Chains A and B, each alone.
Chain A
Amino acid sequence: MRIKHIFQTALKGLQANKTRSLLTILGIVIGVMSIILVVSLGQGAQKLILDQVQGMGSKTIIVAPGRQPTGPSDVAQVLSDSLRVRDYESLKRKENVPNAMNVMPLVFGGESSSYGNETFRLTIFGSTPLIETLFDIPVSEGTYFTDEDVRGRASVIIIGDKVRQELFGSSEALGENIKIKGKSFRIIGILPKKGQVSFFNFDEAAIIPYTTAQDYIFGIKYFHRIIIEADSEKNIESAVNDIRATVRESHDITIADKDDFFIETQADLANRLSTITSILTLFLAAVAAISLIVGGIGIMNIMLVSVTERTKEIGLRKALGATYRDILAQFLLEAVILTGLGGIMGIILGAGLSFIISMVLTNVLSLSWSFTFPVSAALLGLGVSGIIGLVFGIYPARTAAKKSPIEALRYE
C-alpha cells in the first residue's frame, strides 16, 4: 500500500469523527501551546534584559573592588575599599591602557534629599562629566557639570525626572537648591524620563561630581567602580589585560590569586544573564512538556476506543488483502496526524498568545518588549508531538493489526 493511500485512509478515519478527533488533540494543543508561549516569552525577556545590559555600551569594562566569590563560603575577603584615586590616575594614563578611550570613576549610594517640606530618597551617583556619554544620559534641561566642578568639589547636581516631580511637582526646578546631608546643591541639569538603564534607574537618581560625593556625602576615599570604555569592541580583551596589569602594579600584587579587584565586561554580564534566562526558560518548557505526555495518554485512550469500534472495518480490510503492516501504518498514521495537527495548532495558538502578550507589554506597560517566534521550539514541539503520536499510537495500532480477520468480521 502506498504512502499516499495510507495517508488518505487515515485522514478519512479521522474525518468520520471530527469532534472526537478535535477533543482528543486538545491535550497536545495545550501542551505545545504552553511550550511555545514559555519559550517565546522567555526569549522576549532575555532580549529585554540583554538590551538593558547593552544599553551601557558593548565596549564598557567595569573594574570593581573585592573579588568575584569563588563559592558560597568565599565571603572572607571583602576588599571594598581597594580602588583608589591612584588606580584611577594610572588607568587614565595612555601608556598603561592604550585602548582605553574613556575612564570614569563611580561612587554611589542612597541618600535623602529635601526641598522645602518635600523629601525624596534618591540614589546619588558621583562621577565625572563622562557619565553623560558612558551611560547615555544627556540632560533635557540645563547642563552637565564640568571637569572644573569636579576639581573644585562644586555643590552642583543633576536630578532625574522622578526626583524633580517628587520635590518640585510642576514648578521650576532648574537653578533651585536642594539639601542632601545638610549640604545645599544647586540644580544645574535635569534628566529626561528614561526608565531602567542597565540596572540603574536614573529617574530616581541624582548625579554630582565624584569629589563632592566622596568628601561631603559618603565620606570615603575610594571608588565603588571604575568604568572604562574601550576604543573598539575587538580591543576589549587587550584592554582588560592592560587594566588588570595596571591595577595589579598599582596594588603591588604579584600573585593572581591575591587580586583585590575584578574586571567585568558587558559581554561577560550579558553571557551570564542569558545563561540564567535560558536555564529558566528551559525549566519552564520542561514543566510544560509534561502536559504533552498527558495529552499522549489521551490520544492512546481514544485510539484504543477507535480500534475497538472499527474492529469490523479492520477485519474487512484484512479479508480484502490488507497486511499487518498496512493496518499498523493506518492506525499509527492516524495517531501521528492527530498529534501533528495538535502540534501545529499549539504552535499557532502559542505564538498568537505570545504576540498578544508582547503587544500588551509594549503598549500598556511600555516595556521595550519584542515578540520573537521561537523557530527551534516550534520545530521541537512539532517533532515531539509527532513522536508522542508514534509512541502512544503504537499500542492501539498493534492491537488493530493483530486482529484475526474472521474474529474482527464477526465482531458486533
Chain B
Amino acid sequence: MSLIEIKKLTKIYQDGELQTPVLHGISFSIERGEFVSIMGASGSGKSTLLHLIGFLDDYTDGTYLFDGRDARAYTGDEVSKIRNKKLGFIFQSFNLLPNTTVLENVQLPLLYSDIPESEWDARARKAIESVNLTHRTDFDSSRLSGGERQRVAIARALVCNPEVIFADEPTGNLDSKSGGIVIDILQRLNEKEGHTIVLITHETETAKHAKRIIRIKDGLIESDMLVENRHHANDKLIHK
C-alpha cells in the first residue's frame, strides 16, 4: 500500500465567476521511504500539488488515497491529526513565530499533539540537535540567519516524528551553502531515519538530490523518472 496515491487529481481555483484550472489530472504514487522531487517552472502547479497532498487545500476532482484511505473520508479533526502526526512542512519563507525562541518554535507542533508534556522538552532538543542548532536553542528566532531559520523549521517539522516531510522550495531564500546544509539534512533524514521526503523545487541541481524526479508542466506530469547521478549535498559541504 502506497503512502500517497493520487489518481487524476485536478484543481480549479474559483474566484467568483473566474475559474483558473491549475492541475489537469495528475496521477502518481509515493511509497514510504522515498525521496521525491517535484519540479516545474513557476506557475506549473507544483506548489498546488504539494498543498493538496499535504492536506492544506482541497482538490477539485480525482482521488487521493493517504495511507490507503480516501482523503475526503477524513474528518476535520482527523485531518488536523494527520498534519500534526504524519506530515511535516518546511516552507520557503520558514514561517517561524516572531518573538519566540528556537525551542518554543520547535515545540509548537507538540502543543497540538497527544504526546505527553513531559517529553516535549527532550523531543524538541533532540530535533534541534539533529539540525546542529543546539547552540541556538534559546535564541529568539528573529536573530538567526536564513539558513539557521530554515533548520529550525526542519526541526519543527521533525519534532512529531512524521512519516513524510513536505519541503516547498526550502532553499529558495538561501545562499548556496545554507541551501546545501538544508538539503544534506533532508537526505540524512531520508537515509538514516527513513522519513519520506517530498521536495518541491524549480532548480534541477537541487532536484537531483532526490531519488526520483516528477516534472510538472502546465498542470500535467511531463516526466516521472529515477535519478541516475544522484547528488549528495554532503560531498560539497565542509563541516566545522
Complex Cα gap A320–B85 (Å): 9
**Which of B75-83, B182-190, B217-225 interfaces with chain A?**
B75-83
User: A148-190 CB contact bits vs B (8 Å, 1 = yes)?
Assistant: 0000000000000000000000000000000000000000000
B217 to chain A, nearest CB (A): 22
Does the CB pair B89–A320 fall under 8 Å?
A: yes
| Chain B residues whose CB sits within 8 angstroms of the CB of A322 once the complex forms | 80, 111-112
| Chain B residues whose CB sits within 8 angstroms of the CB of A405 once the complex forms | 56-57, 83
Does the CB pair B91–A1 fall under 8 Å?
A: no
Complex Cα gap A16–B140 (Å): 14
| Chain A residues whose CB sits within 8 angstroms of the CB of B160 once the complex forms | 321
Decide if B108 is an interface residue (CB 8 Å cutoff).
yes
B222 to chain A, nearest CB (A): 24
Decide if A59 is an interface residue (CB 8 Å cutoff).
no
Complex Cα gap A2–B100 (Å): 20
Complex Cα gap A313–B94 (Å): 12
User: B64-92 CB contact bits vs A (8 Å, 1 = yes)?
Assistant: 00000000000011001101110001010
Does the CB pair B83–A320 fall under 8 Å?
A: yes
Decide if B97 is an interface residue (CB 8 Å cutoff).
yes
Does the CB pair A320–B56 fall under 8 Å?
A: no
A410 to chain B, nearest CB (A): 9
Does the CB pair B112–A317 fall under 8 Å?
A: yes
| Chain A residues whose CB sits within 8 angstroms of the CB of B202 once the complex forms | none
Decide if A242 is an interface residue (CB 8 Å cutoff).
no
Q: In chain A, residues 308-361, which have Cβ atoms closer than 8 Å to a Cβ of chain B?
A: 312-313, 316-324, 326
Decide if A5 is an interface residue (CB 8 Å cutoff).
yes
Decide if B2 is an interface residue (CB 8 Å cutoff).
no
Does the CB pair B83–A318 fall under 8 Å?
A: yes
Decide if B156 is an interface residue (CB 8 Å cutoff).
yes
Decide if A404 is an interface residue (CB 8 Å cutoff).
yes
Number of A-B contacts (CB under 8 A): 60
User: A1-14 CB contact bits vs B (8 Å, 1 = yes)?
Assistant: 11001000100100
Complex Cα gap A398–B193 (Å): 39
- Of B80, B98, B156, the residue contacting A323 (CB under 8 A) is B80
| Chain B residues whose CB sits within 8 angstroms of the CB of A318 once the complex forms | 80, 83
Decide if A294 is an interface residue (CB 8 Å cutoff).
no
Known contacts A16-B99, A409-B91, A409-B95: does B109 contact A321 (CB below 8 Å)?
Answer: yes
Does the CB pair A1–B56 fall under 8 Å?
A: no
| Chain A residues whose CB sits within 8 angstroms of the CB of B113 once the complex forms | 321
The chain B residue sitting closest to A320, CB to CB, is B109
Decide if A280 is an interface residue (CB 8 Å cutoff).
no
Complex Cα gap A405–B81 (Å): 14
Does the CB pair A326–B112 fall under 8 Å?
A: yes
Complex Cα gap A321–B89 (Å): 11
Does the CB pair B56–A406 fall under 8 Å?
A: yes
| Chain B residues whose CB sits within 8 angstroms of the CB of A406 once the complex forms | 51, 56-57
Q: In chain B, residues 125-143, which have Cβ atoms closer than 8 Å to a Cβ of chain A?
A: none
Does the CB pair A321–B85 fall under 8 Å?
A: yes
| Chain B residues whose CB sits within 8 angstroms of the CB of A12 once the complex forms | 100
B97 to chain A, nearest CB (A): 6
- Of A321, A404, A409, the residue contacting B112 (CB under 8 A) is A321
Complex Cα gap A396–B131 (Å): 37
Chain A residues in contact with chain B, CB under 8 A?
1-2, 5, 9, 12, 16, 312-313, 316-324, 326, 404-406, 409
List 18 interface pairs A-B (beta carbons < 8 Å), by A numbering: A1-B111, A2-B117, A16-B99, A312-B95, A313-B97, A317-B112, A320-B84, A320-B109, A321-B112, A322-B80, A323-B76, A324-B76, A324-B80, A326-B112, A404-B57, A405-B83, A406-B56, A406-B57
Chain B residues in contact with chain A, CB under 8 A?
51, 54, 56-57, 76-77, 80-81, 83-85, 89, 91, 95, 97-100, 108-109, 111-113, 117, 156, 160
Ranked 5 nearest A-B pairs via Cβ: A321-B84, A321-B112, A406-B56, A323-B80, A320-B109
